Each structure stands twice: as C-alpha cells, then as structure tokens.
Amino acid sequence: MSRVLIIGAGGVAGVVVKKCAMLTEYFSEIHLASRTISKCEKLQAEAGADRVVGVYAVDADDANQVADLIRQVEPALVINVALPYQDLPIMDACLETGVHYLDTANYEPKDEAKFEYSWQWAYQERFKEKGLMALLGAGFDPGVTNVFTAYAAKHYFDEIHYLDIVDCNGGDHGQAFATNFNPEINIREITQRGRYWQDGEWHETDPISVREDLDYPNVGVRPSYLLFHEELESLVKHFPSLKRARFWMTFGEQYLTHLRVLENVGMTSIEPVEFQGQKIVPLEFLKAVLPNPGSLAEGYTGMTCIGTYVTGIKDGQEKTIFIYNNCDHAQCNREVGAQAVSYTTGVPAMIAASMMLQGHWMKPGVWNMEQFDPDEFMNRLNQYGLPWQVEECESPFKR
C-alpha cells in the first residue's frame, strides 16, 4: 500500500502534493491535511481530486488530532511539511498509530530558536521497538546536501576531511524584501549566531559576520555568509573523519539592509510583547505582513545553486570535488507553479517518500539521510527534476 498523508499546505507542500500526484507508480492515493482547509482544497483542485482524494483540517500541534486523522486515513507514511514546531506531535501520533514518518526540518521549540536533533534522535528506541521508520530532514538542505556528502564519501574518497555546504539563490523575485520559505522559520535561522565544526568542537561566530565571495556555476560570484545549518550536526556525527564542516548562504545587500533594520527595531524578536491588550510575538506579526513565499513564483527569474564541496584523501592524494544542482525558478513555476526554493525542498521529500515506500530506504528507527545508500536517491534526483553535476576542482576555501 502506498497511501500517504501529507500535513501542511504551504509552498513546500504544494510541490510535494503535485509531484506525488504525477507519480501513480509510487503513490497510490494522496490525502492532505493542514490547519487551514481552504489551502488544502486549493491544492486538491490544482493536483486533481482523483489523486488527492481527501482533504482535512488538523491542528498538528495536537498529537491526538493527528492520531485520529491517521486512524481515519490509514496511510503507510506521513509526510510532514508543516512547520518544525509540529515535528514532535506528529512523530508521537505516528508512534501511537503505527505509521512511518518523514520531515524536512528539525524540531525547534516555538519559544526558543534552537536547532538541534536531540529531541528527535531521542525517539530512536521507540521507533525501533515499533518497527517504524522516521526519516529526518528530507529537503534539499538538509536532505540532498547530506546525500551529496554520502555520495562523495562512497564514490570519490577513502576519507573525507573538509566539508563546505553552499546555498546560493541567484534569483530575483522583484520584491523589496521577502523570504523564500516560511519567514518565521527562515529569520529565526539566519539571525542566530553562526556555528561551524573544527577539530572536534563547535566554534561560534557573530551572526552573518564571516563572508566569502564564491563563484557559483551558472550564477556567478556572490557574497556568501557562514551560518549554522542543521545538517552539520548529523554530518559530523556520521562522518567522524571530518576535520571541519561549515555552511554558507548567499544574501544580497538589499536583503541584509532590510534584515538589519528589522532586527534593530525589534521586529525579528520571538519574545512576546504587550499590544493593545494582548500578547503578540513581533516575528509572527512580521510574517503576517511579508509576502507569502508561495506567491513569489510568478515572474521569479534566475537560478539557485546548492551544493557540497568535499575535500579528502583518495589513494593517498588529497583532492576536492563539488557536487551541485542548479534549479531555475521560472522552470519550476511552469512545471508546478512554485519557485525554486519550494521546489528544491519538495522534490527530495517526494523522492525520499518513494524510497521508503518501495523499501530502498526502510529500517526501523530514526535516521538522517546520509545514513542510507545514496545511489538510487541520486538517480531519482536526475529523473524527477533536480539534475546534479560533479566537478573535480581546487577548493575555493582557505585552510
């Protein structure tokens, strides 16, 4: 049986729903639930009611509501593309009802921007005992970047030593300021202190303070800033030979100026403030006035380039490779009415779901993407819209 329940109906969910709907051989029946049912109905109309056969309103902060829905739908797998806050209640519901689980972002508590796998890794024994699988972080970064690293380690190196994950959005959506995925989650992530792994420990940096100007294939040179990103935590655990692991993301001057102003006036804070007799969280209010990332697709031009530089040893020689994907915003819009950031997250989630349902990746417990054999997943990236390249190159990074 390959009936799936998708939770969430935002930018990423739109891509997951439409890609799953195209692939009858992997997904026999799709059910879609989210907080706002009208958004599910809209996606159902776009993907076809013969493929998305049921839509439901659910508050996924409440594990009991999710468990009731799972009992009603009886899926083989829940694909969680709601927000990171819902990860644990949805995992609880999967455990209670005996269903496999997949998500694209690690759990974070709403009142504390803290990105780590500890909460979800703590479910390892419970999933194992029930013979269930949870796959964590199955988007692009985390997700494909973890698989790129595993693929490099398997095919190109005897031992990997230096890892630099680079995420460039070279596109232009024509808005003064907008985020490409959920604004609340995105701004929490990038306003954190930077963090990277070196010589067996984490090192911290001030937010957006370390810059490299990197040359991205088919995009050009872009200022790239060191950030902490969640896949670093699992990758340094699963590849203990890594001496250094870092993550870089591009930001334009206009984006950074807006962000600085918003931070300076307190609009990115997650501390509640009193406003007209009620408590509001400034960042949640900011989200309400910013463009919906799902609405950016029309007229979005240019490409993303996300990839992984890996340096290591092969047959006694040091070498570096760069594995990357370019994704064209306009092409994604033509195919599924989405911009490339939603697309590059939704397609890997669909592929990872297909890998689980077909048994390529099926093992009781809680896993990150790099813990499975990468080859078939890499084939499916080429097949389903995210072709990748490998180049042997000089490392652009200093030691």
Residues that bind ligand NDP (CB under 6 A): 8-13, 34-36, 39, 58-61, 81-84, 86, 104-105, 137, 139-143, 181-182, 185, 293-294, 345
Residue 54 to residue 32: CA distance in whole angstroms: 6
C-alpha separations of 167 from 15, 170, 257, 305 in Å: 20, 10, 20, 6
The residue type found at 76 is A
Residue of 1, 4, 20, 2 lying closest to 12 (CA atoms): 20
Tell the smallest beta-carbon distance from residue 73 to ligand NDP (Å): 15
Tell the smallest beta-carbon distance from residue 80 to ligand NDP (Å): 8
In DSSP terms, which residues pair with 195 in a beta bridge? 204
Residue 55 or 152 with smaller CB distance to ligand NDP: 55
Let me know: does 31 contact 52? Beta carbons within 8 Å.
Answer: yes
Residue 324 to residue 308: CA distance in whole angstroms: 6
Residue 101 to residue 90: CA distance in whole angstroms: 8
Tell the smallest beta-carbon distance from residue 262 to ligand NDP (Å): 18
Q: Which residue is nearest to ligand NDP (CB)?
A: 10
Tell the smallest beta-carbon distance from residue 128 to ligand NDP (Å): 24
Tell the smallest beta-carbon distance from residue 263 to ligand NDP (Å): 20
Residue 2 or 304 with smaller CB distance to ligand NDP: 304
Q: Which two tokens stand for residue 54?
A: 């049921």
The residue type found at 329 is H
Q: How many residues does the chain have?
A: 399
The residue type found at 165 is I
Residue 84 or 365 with smaller CB distance to ligand NDP: 84
Tell the smallest beta-carbon distance from residue 208 to ligand NDP (Å): 18
Q: Which helix (H) or strand (E) holds 205?
A: strand 201-205
Residue 236 or 320 with smaller CB distance to ligand NDP: 236
Residue 58 or 366 with smaller CB distance to ligand NDP: 58
SS3 75: coil
Residue 208 or 352 with smaller CB distance to ligand NDP: 352
Residue 246 or 311 with smaller CB distance to ligand NDP: 246
The residue type found at 264 is N
Tell the smallest beta-carbon distance from residue 316 to ligand NDP (Å): 36
Residue 139 or 194 with smaller CB distance to ligand NDP: 139
Largest CA distance in the chain: 68
Tell the smallest beta-carbon distance from residue 315 to ligand NDP (Å): 34
Residue with token string 């209670």:
96
Residues 6+ apart with CB under 8 A from 274: none
